[in-house]
Amino acid sequence: MTEGPRRSRSGAATIEEVARAAGVSRQTVSNVLNAPHRVRTETLERVSTAIRELGYQPDQSARSLRSGARRTIGYLAPVDDPLDPNPLMAGFLEALVDAAGERGQRVLLFRPAPPAADPVAAIDELVAARQVDGLVLADVLTDDPRIAHVARLGVPFASFGRTGPEEPQHWADIANDTAMAVVVRHLAARGHRRIGYLGATEELPWMAARRAGFLAETRRLGLSAAPLPDGSGTAAVRELLRGPDRPTAFATGSDLLALDVYEAVRAEGLAVGPAGVAVTGFYDTPLCRHLHPPLTSVRLPLRAIAAGLMARLLGQVHGEAVPTTGLELPTELVVRASSG
């Protein structure tokens, strides 16, 4: 006689107990759950009742061991820079958890263990312990080592942010350049002819794409563009506002950067708004509504992105044919008093 595992607590019902209660065999219960069409209606009802009454749910570990499916996907949390916090992290995670839940998957959160903070090692651990069916990666950079690694490992994955041309195109992303082009058109329609731009750093692909979109669209419309160099802050904006041919509008790569512009505009004795200097942000964080005037911003389709990622990821998991191109989704411009 061996000693069973430490019963966690309240002896949860097993499939055996349900079978006994319903007067059928274990396998019939299993069939009711996994292949209901192979069970007679009458039996199905009887078993279902027993399941409900006993509050039975299959033990996920046993199920995973036997079937190979973990019903869990891993999300590698970006080791984020406190100086450049990703403002959508929380909102995206929620959307991801919901999208996963809709498809019967749970989300296992993991991070590289400090101090090494090696994402590749963290991935290896999770995969070796067979804890997940696949991975979702975010904040993907060009030539991201994480992508190269999971691709080589053959682990199903999907990324928020584009992968390199050599890698599998299992990604979803917003159209950063188009998003900014829409901003420019919005400002142009309000009569602005010279527009400033404040980004963060070209090293982040999404920031680079926004700047490129800004430049391309201003050129296309024959507007005058005044992009500030990477890492510029309030001081640079003020200088631009003091100079000749002052911009009447500013587009920015994030809501926090827009706040810098607000401060600069006021410091120069000007007003933020269509009558003074129009300003736009990015991400549509809660900050936008607390500003005076409220900030026009770009809202991301986080739920659609999460759904797209899950579809691509589970396609791989189930061995279906997966698209060979990424999924690019449009953003939504939320116009508020800062620009319109």
Chain residues in the site for DNA (CB under 7 A): 1-5, 7, 14-16, 24-28, 30-31, 33-35, 37-40, 42-43, 56, 58-59, 62-63, 65-67
Q: Site for a copy of itself (CB under 8 A): which residue of 16, 45, 59, 320?
A: 59
Q: What are phi and psi of 80, to 5 degrees?
A: -85, 145
178 contact choice in a copy of itself, DNA, none (CB below 5 to 8 Å, kind-dependent): none
Total of residues contacting a copy of itself (CB under 8 A): 68
> Which does residue 154 touch among DNA, a copy of itself, none (CB within 5 to 8 A, set by kind)?
a copy of itself
Task: Please tell me whether residue 125 binds a copy of itself under the rule CB under 8 A.
Answer: yes
Is residue 106 near a copy of itself by the rule CB under 8 A?
A: yes
Answer whether 218's CB lies under 8 Å from 165's CB. Answer: no
161: tokens are 């942010």
- Residues 212 and 177: beta-carbon distance below 8 Å: yes
| Segment lying near a copy of itself (by CB under 8 A), choices 31-39, 196-204, 217-225, 283-291 | 283-291
Contacts of 101 (CB under 8 A, 6+ apart): none
Q: Would you count residue 286 as binding a copy of itself (CB under 8 A)? A: yes
Rg (CA), the chain: 26
In the block, tokens 């809202």 appear at 299
Backbone dihedral angles phi then psi of residue 12, each to the nearest 5 degrees: -65, 150
Q: Residue 137 or residue 317: which is nearer to DNA going by CB?
A: 317
Quote the least distance from Cβ 155 to DNA, whole Å.
Answer: 17
Least distance to a copy of itself from the beta carbon of 294, Å? 11
Contact flag: residue 12 with a copy of itself (CB under 8 A): yes
Out of 26, 44, 48, 108, point to the residue binding a copy of itself (CB under 8 A): 108
Q: Is 148 helix (H, G, I), strand (E, B) or coil?
A: helix
Establish if 220 lies at the interface with a copy of itself (CB under 8 A).
Answer: no
The number of beta carbons lying within 10 Å of the beta carbon of residue 301 is: 16
Count Cβ atoms within 10 A of the Cβ of residue 173 and give its class: 0-12 exposed, 13-18 middle, 19 or more buried: buried
Read off the DSSP letter of residue 154: T
CB 228 within 8 A of CB 258: no
Phi, psi angles (nearest 5°) of residue 327: -115, 115
Residues that bind a copy of itself in the complex, under the rule CB under 8 A: 5-10, 12, 55-62, 64-70, 72, 75, 77, 80, 82-83, 85, 89-90, 93-94, 97-98, 101-102, 106-111, 113-114, 124-125, 127-131, 133, 153-155, 234, 256, 259-260, 263, 266-267, 286-287, 290-292
